[in-house]
Chain A
């Protein structure tokens, strides 16, 4: 019953997100042309997310939470993530429960040439427990106020694209000809993120130039950056 309710809630949220996107597109506000488009599939993000797992965190010296797997869902303008975690008592390791932690990807940004997104966790559900309903309530009271701690244990997701910050071109000195080397600086920033059709689209505003001539000719071998 819980699963059906949460599935319905998630689908309604996707429908709302899509309706909002469609409204923007109809008003001409969803401008994507002239922007670099990077589309990464759910499967690719799943591979990357799971490569950083498992992650373990101890909550209040009482509960060990081990985040074991992740599943992304890029649909309906929602970059949702579902994590499976195992929670066990520090003092009594046989008492354990399986948790489902829900959240999403947010704060897409460029940092040191990396395209990163933060994992945020918003809610969780106890899927099964070896310790009964009463203990589940105790688990809830431990996990809920400390969900940020679990969130911080999951590293930021790096979209594996390389975005150059300039294009450097070598010069040439040969015979009578001297061509100075130079660089074309690039200004690239995240413009919008559109998770639809099982793919996360990151759109980047990009501007090239102006060309900057370097002072002296670089060695001939310097070609592409």
Chain B
């Protein structure tokens, strides 16, 4: 009886083992795909790739199909290039100073007054203004940046915004004739004066040529004319008071005579001509766009030279495209740092 129970138990254990094995064994592999199935998968993949390309174009990538092909393609958005150009150009002109030193202006003349029946010269004046320094500060406005075929035109409004200056104003008066000499005598007065500059607006116009220079894209400035700025000195209130003081400090009769010089007007006329300053074109530098190709690579101590062969450059509405093929040149041991 015991033996039967043992056999039954063993049979049960074996059966349980078989069931467990059948349940846990890996399912047999499905049959391998046929050539036709593989081809169908390939066609489905290619169709989806085409659909994706079309969607990418619809979503804004207008020029990718026309971009120059190459081992490496770089597409820089025009919005980014515009941002770079705007900031570089305005950055260069922001806080640009124009400083003129040791300028001399000179005016002389004579004063004639009616005496009884005729006019007579009562004296000669010499007015000298020695401008020690006048400094104007430029402030750029928002530039217009327009992309064209292989160039970007730039128009930059520039304002001569503020400025300061200091000068010595010297009036020499030489009375002519006895009467004038008795009333006025000779006068030689020098006054220190200050001033500013008259704000003026200018416009700088030019372009940047877009070209590939082997490994990157360079924007080279092409500004045909230098920017001519004319600084007009604007005497301060203190300066006008100083002018008035020169006259007012004289005796009453003399004051009246010197009033005839009309120093305010003379000074206004000679300073009103302004002073020219030319801003050379070379102030605007070439700009290398920030994404380019490397000319060497270092892999685990081996320096590999990369020969970059440009395949084309396209300036499209949405991107600047640059394509190049790269060829590896024989490895050299990298120099120890």
Contact = CB atoms under 8 A, between A and B. Distances in A.
A163 B290 contact: yes
Interface stretch (B115-123, B177-185, B190-198, B275-283): B275-283
A145 interface: no
B293 A160 contact: yes
Contacts of B126: none
Contacts of B56: 25, 30, 32
A158 interface: yes
> Taking each of B44, B290, B304, which has the highest tally of chain A beta carbons within 10 Å of its own beta carbon?
B290
Given A47-B326, A52-B300, A176 B100 contact: yes
Interface string A67-80: 00000000110000
A135 interface: no
B48 A170 contact: no
A147 interface: no
B131 interface: no
Interface in B25-49: 29, 32-33, 37-38, 41-42, 44-45, 48-49
B285 interface: yes
Given A8-B38, A211-B88, A33 B288 contact: no
Interface string B289-302: 01111100101101
Contact of B293 (A15, A26, A161, A177): A161
A1 B319 CA distance: 46
Interface string A14-25: 110011011001
Nearest to B58: A25
A37 interface: yes
Contacts of A44: 71-72, 325-326
A186 B80 CA distance: 10
Nearest to B215: A162
B92 A179 contact: yes
A15 B48 contact: yes
Nearest to A153: B300
B51 A37 contact: no
Contacts of B49: 18, 75-76, 196-197
Contact of B294 (A162, A175, A196): A162
Contacts of A186: 290
Contacts of A90: none
B96 A179 contact: yes
A14 B99 CA distance: 66
Contact of A155 (B88, B277, B299): B299
A95 interface: no
A210 B87 contact: yes
A202 B302 CA distance: 25
Interface in A146-188: 155, 158-165, 167, 169-172, 174-180, 182, 184, 186, 188
Interface in B297-337: 297, 299-300, 302, 304, 306, 318-319, 325-326, 328, 331
Contacts of B328: 47-48, 51
Chain B, interface size category, equals 35 or more
A208 interface: yes
A182 B292 CA distance: 21
A30 B75 CA distance: 17
B74 A38 contact: yes
Contact of A196 (B52, B92, B288): B52
Interface string B50-61: 011101100111
Contacts of B306: 160
B200 interface: no
B76 interface: yes
B64 to A, nearest CB: 8
Contacts of A140: none
Contact of B98 (A7, A34, A176, A222): A176
A8 B33 contact: yes
Contacts of A210: 87
Nearest to A157: B299
Interface in A30-50: 30-41, 43-44, 47-48
Interface of B: 29, 32-33, 37-38, 41-42, 44-45, 48-49, 51-53, 55-56, 59-61, 64, 70-77, 79-80, 83-84, 87-88, 90-100, 215-216, 218, 277-280, 282-283, 285-288, 290-294, 297, 299-300, 302, 304, 306, 318-319, 325-326, 328, 331
Given A169-B92, A177-B97, A206-B80, 10 more contacts: A4-B33, A5-B33, A7-B38, A8-B32, A39-B72, A40-B71, A76-B45, A164-B290, A174-B283, A176-B277
User: 10 closest A-B pairs (Cβ-Cβ)?
Assistant: A211-B91, A44-B71, A33-B60, A37-B75, A18-B48, A11-B41, A164-B290, A39-B73, A25-B55, A224-B288
